[in-house]
């Protein structure tokens, strides 16, 4: 997927799959946060819903597509940029919400979730907006589901977060932040998402396990969809190993800039950083520093 813009923020990816842009009014926060909509024979699924600060964009996009009711909201994890608007979606579109069991209590009573986000993200957590609670009876989890004739497997994939799931929906793999973050630029760009607390072996095991999942496309939370899911997952695993090896060399005692300078040279997936638009570079530097912090704490 190459860099694209859509006048209404809705990208038709074919075969009932739509990417909905949820750009945040903050420098560099475009082609970053998104939701996925999948429609098959009248059954409507939404994968992730973004933060509450972008909910009006999501609701307007769903209305433009004539969506009045959602059959299910699938949450890859409960971080604010993926699930912060879940309570608002439930109120307006009445879906059942599929979520990792570890995440369910935090969506019912989100105070601790918001506090944790503020600790890691600072003022960005406030920019994402408050989290409205979800009624407990709307939340559920099943490893295998059939919703309106659509077969769904929920894959337990801790690493980026202990409550992270990937969803195999027919032949589409919705991977959340399993592969980290991509930007749709010629030649490709990818970097890990390893904020503290980071659990290397769990992340590594999840990537290895999911790489064997049969799928035609991989759909990322950040950002876009790509063919050859196995190749992307294996590339993400190699990148993760490289970052951990680079940062562990001195026990994680260096500053993040020195590690970034080394990784730019060693990591072919990060080497396109200089080709990113300046505002995207600024955004990425914030998250790269956070990812390096997570790995440094492990070291």
pLDDT digits (tens, 9 = 90+) for 209-225: 999 899 999 999 999 99
> pLDDT band at 123, cuts 50/70/90?
very high
CATH, range 10-298: 3.60.15.10
pTM beyond cutoff 0.85: yes
Q: What is the 3-state secondary structure (H, E, C) of the chain?
A: CCCCCCCCCEEEEECCEEEEECCCCCCCCCCCCEEEEEEECCEEEEECCCCHHHHHHHHHHHHHCCCCCCCEEECCCCCHHHHCCHHHHHHHHCCEEECCCCCHHHHHCCHHHHHHHHHHHCHHHHHHCCCCCCCHHHEECCCEEEECCEEEEEEECCCCCCCCEEEEECCEEEEECCCCEECCCCCCCEECCCCCCCCHHHHHHHHHHHCCCCCCEEEECCCEEEECHHHHHHHHHHHHHHHHHHHHCCCCCCCHHHHHHHHHHHCCCCHHHHHCCHHHHHHHHHHHHHHHHHHHHHC
List the chain domain ranges.
10-298
pLDDT digits (tens, 9 = 90+) for 99-108: 999 999 999 9
Task: Kindly report which listed range (43-47, 117-121, 142-146) carries the lowest average pLDDT score.
Answer: 117-121
For residue 226, is pLDDT > 50?
Answer: yes
Task: Say what the pLDDT of residue 2 is.
Answer: 46
């Amino acid at each position: 997927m190459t860099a694209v813009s859509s006048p209404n923020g809705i990208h038709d990816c074919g075969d009932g799959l739509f990417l909905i842009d949820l750009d945040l009014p903050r420098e560099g926060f475009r082609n970053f946060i998104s939701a996925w909509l999948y429609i098959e024979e009248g059954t409507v699924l939404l994968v992730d819903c973004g933060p509450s600060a972008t909910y009006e964009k999501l609701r307007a996009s769903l209305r433009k597509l004539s969506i009045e009711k959602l059959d299910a909201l699938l949450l890859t994890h409960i971080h604010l940029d993926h699930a912060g608007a879940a309570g608002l979606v439930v109120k307006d579109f009445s879906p059942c919400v599929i979520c990792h069991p570890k995440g369910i209590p935090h969506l019912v009573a989100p105070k601790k979730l918001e506090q944790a986000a503020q600790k890691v993200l600072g003022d960005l957590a406030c920019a994402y907006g408050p989290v409205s609670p979800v009624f407990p009876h709307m939340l559920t989890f099943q490893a295998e589901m059939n919703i309106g004739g659509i077969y769904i497997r929920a894959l337990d994939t801790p690493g980026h977060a202990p409550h992270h799931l990937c969803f195999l929906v027919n032949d589409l793999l919705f991977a959340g932040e399993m592969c980290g973050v991509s930007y749709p630029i010629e030649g490709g760009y990818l970097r890990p998402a390893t904020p503290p607390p980071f659990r290397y072996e769990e992340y590594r095991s999840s990537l290895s396990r999911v790489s064997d999942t049969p799928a035609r496309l991989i759909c990322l939370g950040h950002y876009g969809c790509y063919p050859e899911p196995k190749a992307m997952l294996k590339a993400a695993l190699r990148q993760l190993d490289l970052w951990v090896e680079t940062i562990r060399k001195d026990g994680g005692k260096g500053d993040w800039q020195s590690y970034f300078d080394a990784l730019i040279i060693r990591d072919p997936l990060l080497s396109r950083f200089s080709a990113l638009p300046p505002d995207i570079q600024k955004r990425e530097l914030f998250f790269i520093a956070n990812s390096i912090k997570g790995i440094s704490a492990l070291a």
